[in-house]
Structure 1
Amino acid sequence: MGIDVKLDMQAIKALEEAAVKSAETAMELVASNIMDTVPLDQGDLQNNIYVDTKKSDDETHVFIDHNCVYARYLYFGNKMVDAETGKGPALIEDVGYRYRKGATLKVKQPVEKLNFQNGRTDHWLDPYISGDKSDFVQKAFTAEFKKKAGV
């Protein structure tokens, strides 16, 4: 007695596509929700948040990123200085923070935190990673996947 299994490859592909689209939608929701906590001066950091998808042969990763060079600096919230000179960055009007060309940065000692205003904060994604919103992405993904996959 043999068992014959046939896979509907079109249905599997449709489910895979629904999963990717659902993950992208969930990340877009996170990106829109963090707008109230991302540091805000002129809006460059907020305006340069994007969701991207990287695909390989057997995996797909959907993630939120920023294309501002200083996003990591603000995310960790520590004042940084040139490791050689010990001096901090100069704010160049309409350009952002600049350091000496080729400078290696280090956290200023003693550690000084950046001061953000109006409820803005560093580590703005932490609530979604390990905080009180850690189930947000899973719930958003699941709800969207049910709609897209017809489950």
Structure 2
Amino acid sequence: MKVRAKLKLNPQAIKKIENATIKSLSLTMEAMKTEVDNMQVVPKETGNLEESAVVGVEEGKGYLSYPGPYARRLYYNPDYDFRQDKNPNAQGRWLDSFIHGDKKDWLTKTYGILLKQNSGGVIK
């Protein structure tokens, strides 16, 4: 028994998918920043830390960074007594739920939804 297969690639569809992956990753990272803001988990006194958040994409990888001078100290000190009058869920390690907590699948699902929307109908 012989099996023959013929594969015909659609360069236009491939280009749409490539463009969609770039756009969707950027939009996913922006959505994550919004999700973190809505969760009200970033420690807040004046709002500088929350406002300092930087979203970006480099070499196909997305990131959300808090470059403020005290961000590292607050992030890695979960035992700190965070004030909760402005952000009621303020805590250290505020991104951990996305890494290994209840929001672990959030990034994958959000990216998948955005990729499908941005693919111009190529991904169904």
Settle same-fold status: TM greater than 0.5. Answer: yes
CA distance in 2, matches of 1:141, 1:14: 16
Q: Which has the higher helix share?
A: 2
**Structure 2 gap segments, 5+ residues each:** none
Rg larger in structure: 1
**Structure 1 gap segments, 5+ residues each:** 79-112
TM norm structure 2: 0.79
* Partner amino acid, structure 1, of 2:55: V
SS of 1:117's partner is coil
Establish whether residue 53 from structure 1 lines up as the match of residue 78 from structure 2: no
* Partner amino acid, structure 2, of 1:44: N
CA shift, 1:69, in A, is: 2.4
Q: Which residue of 1 aligns with 2:106?
A: 136
* Partner amino acid, structure 1, of 2:50: Q
Equivalent pairs counted in the alignment come to: 113
Identity rate of aligned residues, in percent? 30
Instruction: Please point out which of 13, 16, 19 is paired with 1:17.
Output: 19
TM norm structure 1: 0.66
CA RMSD of aligned residues (A): 2.0
Q: Which residue of 1 aligns with 2:92?
A: 122
Q: Which has the higher strand share?
A: 1
Runs of 4+ more than 6 Å apart: none
